[in-house]
A and B are shown apart, each in its own frame.
Chain A
Amino acid sequence: MSKFLECIGVGKIYPGKTEPVEALRGIDFTCDAGDFVCLLGRSGCGKSTLLQMVAGLEKPTSGQIVIANRELDGPSPEAAIVFQDHGLFPWMTVQKNVEFNMKARGVLAAERRATATQFIEMTSLTGFADRYPHELSGGMRQRVGIARALTTRPKALLMDEPFGALDAQTRGKLQDEVLQIWEKQRTTVLFVTHSIDEALLLADRILVFSPRPGRIAADIKVDLPRPRTSQSPGFVALARELRGLVGADREID
């Protein structure tokens, strides 16, 4: 396993409306290719900020981010991002939405269509290719977002609370699907969540964030065998430990 992603002393200070906001300070971590890493913490800890910096959408104000031995300067072709609010284009059909990232790279129409169809199938969206996003349920919309992210076969899949707005049942189903995709594609996943259970079900490793300014408070390895459930041995003990680290309050379930 090689080091795939490195954050070295990464900090971010937003200008802010009235005074500067220090969202992150001194973030140091590396992760190997193929890892499933969850970023866990209450809202306001800077998890989204870190993910957006790894996606190249925001610039760190200090430190550096290295992906596949190259210092990041803007969005990397190796990464793809999935947002909580889907980020689907309402005027494009499912098919066109899934094709967008490829279109941005200049992939030819015929190849776009074929690849999109393949990922539409993988995310169980077959039959919905000609629908518009507003005709789909929340879970299906998020599948479209995931399918779109996969089309460029990214080495890093960045997901920002992708299932945060879904009901428990849909959420559980999509978690399983993401694990299947991860096992099949062998991509590195950075997955932001504020749910301890979700982090424990998914991650090889959990980075626990603490707020003001956002820092990594703990780096927990999750060795539980897969497939996991919340009844897996060891799950409850880890959950209790994490609850303590996160500084449990009602926000965290």
Chain B
Amino acid sequence: MQFRRALGLLPLALLLLAWELAVQAKVYPPVLLPPPAKVLMVFIDDWDTVLGNALASISRVAVGISLAFLFAVPLGLMIGRYRLLDTMTDWSIQIFRSIPPIALIPMALLFLGIGDKPAIALIFLAGTWPLLINTIFGVRGIERTLLKVAKAARASEFLVMKDIILPAALPAIFTGLRLAVGGGWLTVVTAEMIAVKSGLGYMILNAQLTFRSDLIIAGIIVIGAIGLLADQAVRMVRAHVCRWQEGLTASPE
């Protein structure tokens, strides 16, 4: 299974090959397009730069998405459960979620200055909407009989939330989390090009100023690899937490 998944790397291998051929054919001068081997050297010679900036980006996303989770999931559970709250928020959510976080960079800079704060704020926003919308969706999808069982048993509202609404919505919440982590990762790189002086986004923009195209390409590779790993990590946690779903839904494999 994992081996067949790895087959999905085929287009990437072809790209690598084309890159090497382009270098051999001297399509671009080496300053612009360094050979793959030189980019590989970045991970040996400049590993501390790459690692430091990668950790900076990862921790921003971790903080931003955690805050988004703590905010959006409880709110989504409430909105999904109570019609009135839904009516009162629906259109606003639809409007907010169509604003790309990048469009808010200027505002974030004005109000929060340069540094971690504007970057984390933007990641928070990027993660909030998919989490919120998927949580609401998850609560909506709950089987009505289950709520009747709870009502007939005279379960408290807290127990209904904790033992019924939350677990019922968990698969959808994880779908939201995957989207949020993906969106947060896109946002952090962009935000770092403008709003902070560290992180992978900052690193590759800075590399452009110093004509280090090898560092740019290495940065892009790291961004892609971390994106993949983060997504896989969320999927694994989901598979573990939602074990009870096994055999209930059609799996794609």
A residues near B (Cβ < 8 Å) are 52, 55-57, 74-75, 77, 79-81, 83, 85-87, 89-92, 100-101, 103-105, 132, 134-135, 152
Contact = CB atoms under 8 A, between A and B. Distances in A.
Given A56-B152, A57-B152, A105-B154, A89 B167 contact: yes
Contacts of B154: 74-75, 77, 104-105
Contacts of A90: 244-245, 248
Closest 9 pairs (CB-CB, A-B): A104-B155, A104-B153, A87-B145, A87-B149, A91-B167, A91-B244, A101-B153, A81-B152, A75-B152
A83 B149 contact: yes
Interface of B: 143, 145-146, 148-156, 159, 163-164, 167-168, 170, 242, 244-248
- Chain B interface, DSSP helix/strand/loop, else mixed: helix
A80 B244 contact: no
A81 B150 CA distance: 11
Contacts of B151: 56-57, 75
A134 B248 contact: yes
B15 to A, nearest CB: 43
Contact of B146 (A55, A74, A87, A134): A87
B159 A104 contact: yes
Most buried by B among A85, A87, A101, A103: A87
16 contacts: A55-B152, A75-B151, A77-B154, A81-B152, A86-B145, A87-B145, A87-B146, A89-B149, A90-B244, A90-B245, A100-B150, A103-B163, A105-B154, A132-B244, A134-B246, A152-B153
B244 A104 contact: no
A152 B149 CA distance: 13
Nearest to A132: B244
A75 B245 CA distance: 30
Contact of B152 (A80, A85, A103): A80
B153 A79 contact: no
Contacts of B245: 90-91
Nearest to B167: A91
Contact of B148 (A57, A79, A91, A104): A57
A104 B248 contact: no
Most buried by B among A56, A74, A89, A132: A89
